[in-house]
Amino acid sequence: MKKYCEIFKKCSVIGKLSFLVALVFISIAILSPLLCKYPYNIPSASSLIPPSIEHILGTDDLGIDLWSQICYGGRISITLGISTAVLAGTFGSFVGIISGYYGGLVDKFLMRFTDLMLVLPQLPVMIVLAAFFGPNLKNVIIVLSIFSWVGPARVIRSKVMSIKDESYIKAAKSYGASFFHILRKHILTQIFPLVSISMVKIISKAIIAESSLSFLGLGDPVSKSWGMILNHAIDFDGIYFTNYWKWWITAPLLSIIILVLSFAFIGKEIENF
């Protein structure tokens, strides 16, 4: 704990603010049942009420409290981002470790596969896959993970290739140390910071990608993610010719922008260490 406090003190002002903002969003997502007076999926007042003391962010066209939707939507968006980061980061690290450690034909095959994934147009392919698998939160996480593991794989591969040529690794091999022993004792400890940075970056990208898919109507219609709230708001006829957009569109849009920027700055700060 003391180590993390020291790291926090060394962060820039923007880095500290980003950590605090991300912590606030995560806390709101966790404590949403306690912070929300009204349900997030059942009408609780008249439709399209502007922000007031009773309804902090107003209501949508169905009379559902928008503050409750934002709180629960944050839970979904953050869970999706973290789940995607864990899946993509783990798989990408596995590919990078195998490719960098063994080299040769294994390395060539895996790197050509990652090159193929890089040249694919991500958004169009994600749209096709999301439409094929169906608008389900688990399916969205899988689709996002498919296109998020390439970055970590290439970074980890480069690091492992430099580690395996170190004298202590060669000495361990000469004494008959197995791959798993070397992995556990020497490789994992050195690649962990890189994996952490990659995962933080994936979280922000996943939130944007999910919002994009939901905006296009390919997200989970049952969930109240920020992207789905935006999709529902923009589908409302004449939204821009009324004052409704001031709270109905602004709230989820600002939530996405602020949280994504926070994770982006956190990733930058971690890189400096």
Min mean pLDDT across 139-143, 158-162, 258-262 is at 139-143
Shortest CA distance to 220 belongs to which of 211, 32, 250? 211
pLDDT tens-digit series, residues 37-66: 898 888 888 888 888 888 899 998 889 999
Ordered by start, the domain boundaries in the chain are 14-45+56-272
62 vs 39: CA distance, rounded Å: 12
193 vs 180: CA distance, rounded Å: 20
Shortest CA distance to 256 belongs to which of 12, 76, 41, 56? 76
pLDDT category, 7, cuts 50, 70, 90? low
Q: Whole-prediction pTM value?
A: 0.86
CA distances from 122 to 58, 78, 92, 101, 117 (A): 36, 21, 17, 28, 9
What contacts 27, CB < 8 A, 6 or more positions away? none
| Average pLDDT of every residue of the chain | 87
- The proportion of the chain whose per-residue pLDDT surpasses 90, expressed as a percent, equals 31
Fold topology of 14-45+56-272: MetI-like fold (1.10.3720)
pLDDT, residue 5, reads: 65
Average pLDDT over residues 70-90: 92
pLDDT, residue 127, reads: 78
Q: Are 249 and 1 in contact (CB under 8 A)?
A: no
pLDDT, residue 1, reads: 54
Average pLDDT over residues 219-226: 78
Q: Count CB atoms within 10 A of the CB of residue 66.
A: 24
* Amino acid identity at 59: T
Beta bridge partners of 59: 65
